[in-house]
Chain A
């Protein structure tokens, strides 16, 4: 086997599979209920696991008494931190124990675990665990947590393993998980050169993923070898393997992770969920343990999006050019860092937006508070900063008397220009996205004619979006079967977004096979080639690339055989649909993949197989352009662009906002499966609509007040219009498979600002805090009316 570290030329698709809305490979098993998710599995002798959550937001653990729980009939294992190795995990800053150790840092934090013969017994046993606490003062606001004298969550923070670059400011603030500073140009002296300036404070909520399938893990331990097998609902089998090894002090060679069907993730199933603790229970009980969280436990114990407060000032000149920006971003990362330092890095990296702004000063914090830990969530720090930025861009356009789309186009980065930090934009298509959005939405007419229903006001708003697609490492193996069909192995997890199908289409198109001729195998750390994670809008882009590269090598091997079999030079050969190598211009001269494979297996050359690997090349910060401090670099990715337009009606009586219609224009590079891409865009838009209008975890004194789907509301079928129009532009990239780029996260990023800009267009009121609930919008309307009547 060989690999090619450099990308080959983008292959030409063979046959008609690429760009077709073929049904998903697993659609049939999903509509019949036969698809197997983790909780659908059972093993002989299987026990049920459950977690006990902390009743306090911040408290010292004085003592445990688990004797009554251990003595209950049917209870097989009871664990607290005292029973576990003192190891902490985290993607950047390793601060999180499997169960609270020494202190509890948020209400609901897992503090004990039980395995029992059934779930009822396990839950009753949790009630019999007696833990003595000393309640400590807590801090729930990240700005307060930064003040001197605030309660400190992680007294031992500086002893944790940490992969961030140094920041003296972080060192001075004991509750800071991250502190980042990025400066370009001369931001201090530039403000008097600005003709218009807008400045405000923006607040965004802790949104929760509400993947439909709650977190679930089934762990079994081989009694002889000690090897642990985990079936789990995750976005990365390889990260679970590494984290479980790290948490339990077991070599990765003794851990196998398999992802059955996964019922959504959206970032919430990256890094650790409940896998290591379930493995620990199975080891302690000597039997398989399945732990599926109840929805309420999932909401109290797992993760959310980072709540964020952003103080931003942006200035522009009379000729419509954005000149300067100063921004202070404070992400609330909750009790543990998880992906918070990465989120802060990515958020800072997007703080200039998809625009050329010569002078910027960015300060960004991720701060510990006694709330649920915040982590990855579709958009990864970018929806927060886009909310502030795209509202300000609209206000600047208004002050300058310019159309919001024209103003954005004037400032949009183009191909060859540099992103914040100096990375080149290879495919600067924002202008095209904005122009297409203007045409598709009939922007000019709708912007000027605003006939609304009685008692309602209508408006239309836009947001420009810049995001990245890519990140980190992937690999794939492609192997020709004896009959000429193909087996494709990757470690990528399809969490519902459709990557299995898209990747199978990539392989089929690369070699001219039908989908029936592709065996696409699921992720299993024992046999799959490495893939970092389903996240960062990267799977189709990155894994698709390594698959097509491996297919290219398989093609070369096929051609070498065919050249000898057909007595023609390789240069005269071509792939034909159906698994055939033929001679160009000679329709009758051909040989099937099956015949070639048989020759390779039994006569000459050996099995036809190839693998490929890729690490998305990190672009270091160009220090001539940018002064940078405190970044947790995970590389960046390939820049991708979109434009999102929302038309809304605002109810004058209640302030409630209704989305009437939306257009979401995305440069996807090259469409692999239109239905899948469009479905991602529509779904991301609606998740963004929830973020914009209704979704928010609410705490009272550190206690989560809405840990259920009846109190935390995501949009339902009646809350969204059917008219959410996905529009795919195709400007092929030089990097992705057949030119494809990623789309999944991008579709959420601009929704909240597009909706809030539409609210402003409808009412004149600026909403700087989302979700834009009826209450907040009504108050904004009334205070505007009041100001108007005084003025």
Chain B
């Protein structure tokens, strides 16, 4: 059995005092300890992007991040993307463009798109496609996802 480590994790602006084994991933801590189940487990290998969260504003795989290494970092999950009860423009665009199918990849895609637009409010279509390079969607063929994000920047695919 592993030692448990006490640590404080900052998730969506709130501090959580936790005691976790060092091999526990951020994904497991989010889903099982904090019950933030919007972040999805798809592959455990950093290959699908369903578990994407922001750490200090950069999209990372929570399945490959050990929780104990993240003290003092600012973690943002899908649960914090809405402002109050208002959908984030990315979320609204995905809804309106019919980009959502089974939805399992969508929280990760929202997170990736948010990181992109926070850094670069007017990405080209190619920049959007490159930014989505860590996210797999098996339903949509990506066209409507790219189109939805591009609609926020005035770009036309």
Contacts and interface: CB of A to CB of B under 8 A. Distances in A.
B133 A263 contact: no
A262 B36 CA distance: 18
A209 B104 CA distance: 14
Interface in B31-88: 31, 36-48, 50, 77-79, 81-82, 87
B3 to A, nearest CB: 14
B121 interface: no
B91 A498 contact: no
26 contacts: A24-B100, A31-B100, A32-B79, A39-B41, A213-B40, A214-B41, A261-B103, A263-B40, A263-B102, A263-B104, A496-B139, A678-B144, A683-B139, A686-B141, A686-B142, A687-B141, A716-B133, A717-B132, A717-B133, A717-B135, A717-B137, A717-B142, A717-B145, A722-B146, A722-B157, A723-B157
Interface string A703-740: 00000111000101110101110000000000000000
A212 B133 contact: no
Contacts of A24: 95, 98, 100
A292 B31 CA distance: 13
B25 to A, nearest CB: 12
Given A30-B100, A212-B138, A717-B132, A709 B40 contact: no
Give 4 closest A-B pairs by Cβ, nearest first.
A33-B38, A496-B102, A675-B98, A30-B103
Contacts of A720: 141-143
B96 interface: yes
A28 interface: yes
A32 B82 contact: yes
A23 B97 CA distance: 8
A722 B125 contact: yes
A31 B94 contact: yes
A676 interface: yes
A163 to B, nearest CB: 32
A35 B37 CA distance: 9
A496 B107 CA distance: 15
B136 interface: yes
A742 B69 CA distance: 50
Chain B residues touching A, majority SS? loop
A347 to B, nearest CB: 24
Given A33-B38, A496-B139, A295 B43 contact: yes
A108 B29 CA distance: 29
B10 interface: no
B11 interface: no
B45 A495 contact: no
Contact of B106 (A30, A214, A497, A724): A30
Contacts of A496: 101-104, 139
Interface string A170-193: 000000000000000000000000
B38 A34 contact: yes
A71 interface: no
Which of B47, B97, B135 has the most C-beta atoms of chain A within 10 angstroms of its own C-beta? B47
B100 A716 contact: no
A541 interface: no
A416 interface: no
Nearest to A726: B143
B19 interface: no
A262 B102 contact: yes
B105 interface: yes
Given A33-B36, A675-B97, A709-B136, 5 more contacts: A31-B91, A31-B100, A676-B98, A718-B133, A722-B142
A206 B151 CA distance: 38
Interface string A400-439: 0000000000000000000000000000000000000000
Contacts of B50: 212
A714 B44 CA distance: 16
B155 to A, nearest CB: 11
Interface string A2-25: 000000000000000000010110
Given A213-B40, A720-B141, A31 B130 contact: no
B9 interface: no
B26 interface: no
Interface in A656-711: 675-676, 678-680, 682-687, 708-710
Contact of B102 (A39, A212, A717, A724): A212
B100 A295 contact: no
A520 interface: no
A33 to B, nearest CB: 2
Contacts of A294: 44
B106 to A, nearest CB: 5
B140 interface: yes
A27 B95 contact: yes
A210 B138 contact: yes
B134 to A, nearest CB: 8
A454 to B, nearest CB: 20
B9 to A, nearest CB: 18
A34 B91 CA distance: 13
A266 B133 contact: no
Nearest to B37: A40
A264 interface: yes
B94 A27 contact: yes
B22 to A, nearest CB: 13
A26 interface: yes
Interface in B102-136: 102-107, 110, 125, 129-130, 132-133, 135-136
Contact of B144 (A35, A209, A675, A714): A675
A723 B139 CA distance: 16
B95 A35 contact: no
A358 to B, nearest CB: 38
B146 to A, nearest CB: 5
A161 interface: no
B147 to A, nearest CB: 7
A32 B95 CA distance: 11
Contacts of B81: 32
Interface in A16-70: 21, 23-24, 26-28, 30-37, 39-40
A160 interface: no
Nearest to B132: A717
A211 interface: yes
Contacts of B97: 675
Nearest to A688: B141
B51 to A, nearest CB: 11
A212 B40 contact: yes
Given A32-B82, A34-B38, A708-B43, A717 B98 contact: no
B104 A213 contact: yes
